[in-house]
Structure 1
Amino acid sequence: MSVLPAALTIVPPNHALSGRVAPPGSKSITNRALLMAGLAVGTSQLSGALKSKDTALMAAALKQMGVGVDEPDETSFVVSGSGKLTAPDQALFLGNAGTAVRFLTAAAATIDGQVVIDGDEHMHRRPIAPLVAAIASLGIDINSATGCPPVVVNGRGNFGSGRIEIDAGLSSQYVSALLMAAPLGAGPIDVVLTGSDIGARGYIDLTLAGMRSFGALVEQVDAGRWRVEPTGYQATALAIEPDASAATYLWGAEALTGGNIDLGIKADAFTQPDALSQAFIAQFPNMPAVIDGSQMQDAVPTLAVLAAFNNNPVRFVNIANLRVKECDRVAALANELNRIRPGLAREDGDDLIVAADPGLSGQRLPTRIETYADHRIAMSFALAGLKIGEITILDPACTGKTYPGYWDMLSDLGVVLTPGQ
């Protein structure tokens, strides 16, 4: 669909969804690779990459800082760097792209000059104070007046050296941001957690793998400490795997309709943590009564919508970090499930309890789903429309943040979509 309407209504297909679908490239890996290629000396070839709003914002910001970024086809970037970023003439505007804002906040500290990192009104509510405090501890002049973007960084040309402590309870992206900037230090840098709480550790593993691909020397000293040598980065060719978060919607559609969708990659071949969700989806409609979402945070919306059709209630635990994503996803999931059927979900502290009602399947329950400008709310609730009549998704274009072809994919699988009212 080249131009999406303001709302889309999903017509339940009443048949198993089967076929072959190639998910887009991983957003998490693409934005990491773009940054490290931009910091590297030489020209890097990134294949299988995601082209979406979030990655476009990262690429545009790198261009503002003197990096050459070409796009020879729909899944490739060719990135040319000198090993150093330069101060941009204007503020970097990064919309609501959390990875781009956090990663570039640390990378900007390696620049000799001032960088302002900003985003939209949603980003202005997303906390970044722990990362700012960690960078400031290296003696770098950095300030965020509200504890959220915009952030002003006055870099000194390198990331410093020594020990840097970080509270990563809100997001593992803070750790990844520091690790990726550390090879541009003046000496070795130890990145150390101040507590045991951390967002999905699997994303740090993605960061470490990427850093090593670009020639960095990084050692995990123990569970909460990493040592990074001041090697800089060297250009490389990198093949980016498909997006595991996107795969969750396909696994969910397959489970709900009894279909068979070939993604061209097995769940256990993914290195991204959201692939862990496939083990729970495979148990549908008998998913367990308690699901720990801490290590597969972006998969929780998919699992929560599936839970609405499960044979037993499901409590999602360790998901407090979902409150500081593109929207408060815990509240959004509860609100929109209850829009479908009052009492279908509730918040219990930071847990989400989905009551489960297999009888929802086949019902006609006209519901307009508010998406909160959050791509994952839109894509996960589209799954509800595969089983319930007249589910309408508002602002369907928000899926362009990470999966621009999402609605085309559903159409190709035989799902009828009509303009909503």
Structure 2
Amino acid sequence: MSTQKTVTVTPPGSALNGKVTPPGSKSITNRALLVAALASGTSRLTGALKSDDTRHMSNALRQMGVSIDEPDATTFVVTGQGRLSMPEQALFLGNAGTAMRFLTAAVATVDGAVTLDGDDYMRKRPIGPLLEALSRGGVDASSATGCPPVQVQGRGQVTAQRFEIDGGLSSQYVSALLMLAACGQAPIDVALTGKDIGARGYVDLTLACMQAFGAQVQSLDDTTWRVSPGGYKATDYHIEPDASAATYLWAAQALTGGRIDLGVADAAFTQPDAEAQKVIAQFPHMPAVVVGSQMQDAIPTLAVLAAFNRTPVRFTELANLRVKECDRVQALHDGLNAIRAGLATVEGDDLLVAADPGLADHVSDALVDTHADHRIAMCFALAGLKVPGIRIQDPDCVAKTYPGYWQALQSLGVQLRFDQ
């Protein structure tokens, strides 16, 4: 249940102009932390994100014998031994989905039993398909509910020859298996079943990170990779800013007619969510249909922006959004309709945003339930840039990936009121 603390955004009534540097990429930071931990030697990760999600990952790695120093606000210095040691206690990962899924696979390298657990929200997030894929590859991994807590009985080595996973379920499952595969005793094939892969761009991020740390990966075809044994080599690695975080700033710029300098060119982002910039740039003439599968974390931003578009927007292929920190399809539907009844409808896994160019003249008494989901809090703050009166519950949940979000808005001249 969300806390009773709220934040109300006062529409600035003018263009937002200024410079805001987004934090480092969460997706890349948690990948780099893990592969650096699995490497022998010391790696220096710069431009990294320090947030709840990366804290859960780094703390879990420390529990397994990895030395991680933090000399400044954007750097991790990681010293690994080439393998993970058995932790004395269960790994608590909060609601950090990347940490839970990546580590569920990675702890197969531990010689001993490991339990991975999370908060009440995490205990509702499915992980069964990853456990089944690991089990078929000879890893003893199980869960009583198909969700965390998870038990993995590591054997200190990975003897699998092949992992198969339905890539349409979650790209994080695919990434978890790929990163583990480099620790095998022999080459391991990671193969996708099913017709599609959700957010393939995130798999590309994983492969790029693995290869930067010395892993040898061969693409056998569009759905199969062969990962050579040999593990990872310590290296220095720079992490780009977070594209998902950038979407809020791009949208704030579009909504207010302003110009926000992110300190990095739009084209420099390699993360899948950067594709959202092309959609945002078309506002208020966004396309009639936006496919969500390849830029899932950007969909909340785009859905709120669509409420102010000239014409309706249908968001499709959103099934994976239902198993994020909350059911984001339903949360977006409920939040938009709290602002104005009839603004959104759900059809299967599609979200249809009716769009109302006159919405900015509306005064709302909406109380948006974020379900402790950072992306729901941040996207509905955008609605508050145009519609007065919107209250957003649990504003502190943005610490999951963007601890400085509210300060970033204030630095652009946005007035916020926090109420307990």
Q: TM-score range by the shorter chain?
A: over 0.9
| CA spacing shift, 1:321–1:176, aligned 2, 3 Å | same
User: What does 1:17-166 align with in structure 2 at a 5 Å threshold?
Assistant: 17-166=16-165
TM-score after normalising by structure 2:
0.98
CA contact (8 A) 2:179 2:206 kept: yes
1:396 aligns with 2:395: yes
Aligned to 1:345: 344
Aligned to 1:380: 379
1: CA distance, partners of 2:234 / 2:224 = 26
1:235 is paired with a residue whose SS is: coil
Report which stretch shifted further, 158-167 or 347-356. Answer: 158-167
User: What does 1:18-417 align with in structure 2 at a 5 Å threshold?
Assistant: 18-417=17-416
1: CA distance, partners of 2:385 / 2:419 = 15
C-alpha displacement at 1:198, in angstroms? 1.7
Q: What do the CA deviations read for 1:216-242 (whole angstroms, capped 9, x no partner)?
A: 001111111000011111100000000
Runs of 4 or more consecutive aligned structure 1 residues displaced over 3 Å after TM superposition: none
CA contact (8 A) 1:215 1:234 kept: yes
Q: What do the CA deviations read for 1:92-120 (whole angstroms, capped 9, x no partner)?
A: 00011000000000000111101001111
Amino acid at match of 2:10: V
CA contact (8 A) 1:392 1:420 kept: no
C-alpha displacement at 1:419, in angstroms? 2.1
Amino acid at match of 1:363: H
C-alpha displacement at 1:321, in angstroms? 0.7
Amino acid at match of 1:349: G
CA contact (8 A) 2:138 2:160 kept: no
2:366 is paired with a residue whose SS is: strand
CA contact (8 A) 1:159 1:186 kept: yes
Amino acid at match of 2:141: I
2: CA distance, partners of 1:177 / 1:364 = 46
1: CA distance, partners of 2:125 / 2:218 = 30
C-alpha displacement at 1:5, in angstroms? 8.7
Q: Which runs of 5+ in 2 are unaligned?
A: none
CA contact (8 A) 1:5 1:419 kept: no
Amino acid at match of 1:122: Y
Amino acid at match of 1:48: G
C-alpha displacement at 1:391, in angstroms? 1.1
TM-score after normalising by structure 1:
0.98
C-alpha displacement at 1:148, in angstroms? 0.7
2:109 is paired with a residue whose SS is: coil
CA contact (8 A) 1:367 1:392 kept: yes
Amino acid at match of 1:320: A
2: CA distance, partners of 1:161 / 1:399 = 39
Q: What do the CA deviations read for 1:252-286 (whole angstroms, capped 9, x no partner)?
A: 00000000001011221111000000000000001
Report which stretch shifted further, 215-224 or 28-37. Answer: 215-224
CA contact (8 A) 1:93 1:117 kept: yes
Report which stretch shifted further, 344-353 or 160-169. Answer: 160-169
2: CA distance, partners of 1:14 / 1:5 = 28
The share of aligned pairs that are identical, in percent, is: 66
Amino acid at match of 2:352: I
C-alpha displacement at 1:145, in angstroms? 1.0
2: CA distance, partners of 1:305 / 1:135 = 38
Amino acid at match of 1:326: E
Aligned length: 418
